Amino acid sequence: TREWQLVRRPHGEPVAEDFRLVSAERPDPADGEVVVQTIAMSVDPYMRGRMSAAKSYAASWELGETMQGGAVGQVVASRSDAVPEGALVLHGLGWRDVAVVPAKHVSVVEPLPGLPLSLYLGVLGMPGLTAYAGLFRLADFREGDAVFVSGAAGAVGSLVGQFARLRGASRVVGSAGTPEKVRWLREELGFSAAFDYHDGKVADLLTAAAPDGIDVFFDNVGGEHLEAAIGAFRTYGRAALCGSISGYNATTAPPGPRNLGFIVGKQLTLRGFIVGSHADLRPEFVGAVSGWLQDGSLVARETVVDGLDSAVDAFRALLSGGNTGKMVVRLAPD
């Protein structure tokens, strides 16, 4: 089997030399374990945090340790009655072509007709639940709200905007990093307005896109985006603080929003959250999202990179905006 290890902690942007691809003997499964051949693996922004020694909600990886992450695959050998050979499963030991996993740590998944299994790494998986919990629980979205989402063309952001539209937002505004992404948001995902954050000050671009202000902000980016949203909020505005990717590769602390005083005056609610604490929403989320996928009202785009050898390149591209929708590494056909 082949697997990716972290061999040096990235300083700033991760580079190829921070990682190595190693070959290992495939261990035989012990009682209760299954062997899973990877079909697709996920690369996600939170993995940048695990590469760093700094304390964060997900533990740091040790140097020389094989990295982990979401993956889907097929069971090719089983020593568990619960998960038979041939089953399609989701598990947490990505970054390798073959994984030996305790059966109790895998979930058996059913592919939706005509749709790729990798959707369990995106719209039907962790990023989908993040969008759902953040918008509907943390930001307490209500019909008629004007919503702004940063990182809007990514895995989480593209779903937040569509969920808000499908549940009756009065206005959905998104920001993203290229003109193509902005066009996609407006023309294919039904956003009311979208802008490229490279085109000026985010505060000015947001005022032009939402002249009457916003009620809900879903933040994937932080920094200047959060400051702009605080400025644009109406009274009793609500924000779900999901991530702050603009600072993940920073080597010095980024400047915070300079207008935190408005939080008081406008009586805002800003809540940080971790998707793992909202797993109780999963049945409701899967029900809503499978319905929208099957009736065609939800676009679940993926950017697919081929082959385990390209996994680090895919991760590096993710951090610099090389994806539209969910970034996925495909190792084998479904």
Q: How far is the CB of 153 from ligand NDP (least distance, A)?
A: 5
Handedness of CA 108, 114, 117, 120 (dihedral sign): negative
69 binds ligand NDP (CB under 6 A): no
Q: Which of 266, 221, 255 is nearest to 241 (CA)?
A: 221
246 binds ligand NDP (CB under 6 A): yes
CA dihedral 305, 309, 314, 319 (to 10 degrees): 180
Considering the complex, state which of residue 36 and residue 240 has its C-beta at the smaller distance from ligand NDP: 240
Q: How far is CA 147 from CA 109, 156, 213, 239, in A?
A: 32, 14, 9, 10
Site string for ligand NDP, 154-173 (x = CB under 6 A): xxxx----------------
185 binds ligand NDP (CB under 6 A): no
Tokens at 147, concatenated: 């919503």
| CA end-to-end span of the chain | 19
Stretch that binds ligand NDP, among 107-115, 231-239, 240-248, 279-287 (CB under 6 A): 240-248
Q: How far is the CB of 334 from ligand NDP (least distance, A)?
A: 21
Handedness of CA 227, 229, 235, 237 (dihedral sign): negative
178 binds ligand NDP (CB under 6 A): yes
DSSP secondary structure letter of residue 109: -
Tokens at 13, concatenated: 């942007």
177 binds ligand NDP (CB under 6 A): yes
Q: Do strands 214-219 and 233-241 pair parallel, antiparallel, or not at all (unpaired)?
A: parallel
Q: How far is the CB of 290 from ligand NDP (least distance, A)?
A: 20
243 binds ligand NDP (CB under 6 A): yes
44 binds ligand NDP (CB under 6 A): yes
Q: Where are the alpha helices (DSSP H) in 135-281?
A: 155-166, 179-187, 202-209, 224-232, 261-265
Site string for ligand NDP, 3-42 (x = CB under 6 A): ----------------------------------------
Q: How far is the CB of 203 from ligand NDP (least distance, A)?
A: 15
Stretch that binds ligand NDP, among 94-102, 183-191, 268-276, 287-295 (CB under 6 A): 268-276
323 binds ligand NDP (CB under 6 A): yes
Residues 273, 218 contacting (CB under 8 angstroms): no
Residue 317 Cα to chain centre, angstroms: 14
Q: How far is the CB of 2 from ligand NDP (least distance, A)?
A: 25
Instruction: Determine the Cα–Cα distance for residues 79 and 62; give it in Å rounded to an integer.
Output: 29
Q: Out of 39, 40, 153, 298, which residue is the one contacting ligand NDP (CB under 6 A)?
A: 153
92 binds ligand NDP (CB under 6 A): no
Tokens at 182, concatenated: 């902005």
Angle between helices 202-209 and 224-232 (to 10 degrees): 40
Number of residues counted as binding ligand NDP (CB under 6 A): 29
94 binds ligand NDP (CB under 6 A): no
Instruction: Determine the Cα–Cα distance for residues 33 and 104; give it in Å rounded to an integer.
Output: 8
239 binds ligand NDP (CB under 6 A): no
Stretch that binds ligand NDP, among 64-72, 111-119, 290-298, 314-322 (CB under 6 A): 314-322
Q: Which residues contact 309 (CB under 8 A, 6 or more apart)?
A: 21
Considering the complex, state which of residue 262 and residue 273 has its C-beta at the smaller distance from ligand NDP: 273
Residue of minimal Cβ distance to ligand NDP: 154
Q: Which residues bind ligand NDP (CB under 6 A)?
A: 44-46, 127, 130, 151, 153-157, 176-178, 181, 220-221, 242-243, 245-246, 273-275, 318-319, 321, 323, 327
